[in-house]
Chains A and B, each alone.
Chain A
Amino acid sequence: MIVIFLAIGLLIMSTILLSMYRAVLGPGVFNRIAASNVIGTKVIVLLVVIGYIFERPMFIDISLLYAILNLVSTLIIAKYLERGEICSS
């Protein structure tokens, strides 16, 4: 079963490499933000699969924390690009 988890992890890593093209070369800032959001949500699943490969369930807590951080960073960057400021006084 570890072979199957390794194969799934390699497939997720290939999709991260495909998304990295749009994150580096994408025209404009919005394409880069969208690609970085996509990479962050793929990394969550990659952490869960890595936890099953190494047989350490501790990685699931790290992936929960990473999911919350990814959502908050994406929302803050989107609000900043929309308004030009983070906190409206």
Chain B
Amino acid sequence: MLVIDVIATVLMGVGAFFMITGAVGLLRFPDFYTRLHATGKCDTLGEVLIIAGCMVYEGFSFITIKLLLLMVFIFIANPVGTHAIMKAAYLTGVKPWKKGDKRM
């Protein structure tokens, strides 16, 4: 394997680790807000790292520019969607979880 392949493998492995962490947080946290807290950040970072690994593997070509556009779009779009869902839930009246409450 070349050095570029090793760098791409490490980047994609770290990204997959972050995505698995976000999925476990979505399953295990007790509340709606804490679940979005887990997925909103871990998923963004994991997906961007996997796309960065693909960019390193590709080299410099026209596909790299498309992947860069996709990366910038994910960095903008994913927090915006999370914020919109969370604001809708807060204005509709979903109560935050406090210590000692039942898991929702």
Contacts and interface: CB of A to CB of B under 8 A. Distances in A.
B61 to A, nearest CB: 9
B7 interface: no
Given A1-B57, A57-B63, A78-B88, A8 B35 contact: no
B3 interface: no
B47 to A, nearest CB: 5
Contacts of B19: 11-12, 15, 42, 45
B84 A78 contact: yes
Interface of B: 1, 5, 9, 12-13, 15-16, 19-20, 22-24, 26-27, 32, 35-36, 39, 43, 46-47, 50-51, 54, 57, 63, 66-67, 69-70, 73-74, 77-78, 80-82, 84-85, 87-89, 91-92, 94, 104
Given A38-B26, A48-B50, A82-B87, 8 more contacts: A18-B24, A18-B26, A30-B32, A30-B92, A49-B54, A60-B67, A67-B74, A78-B81
Interface of A: 1, 4, 8, 11-12, 14-15, 18-19, 21-22, 27-28, 30-31, 33-35, 37-38, 41-42, 44-45, 48-49, 52, 57, 60-61, 63-64, 67-68, 70-71, 74-75, 78-79, 81-82
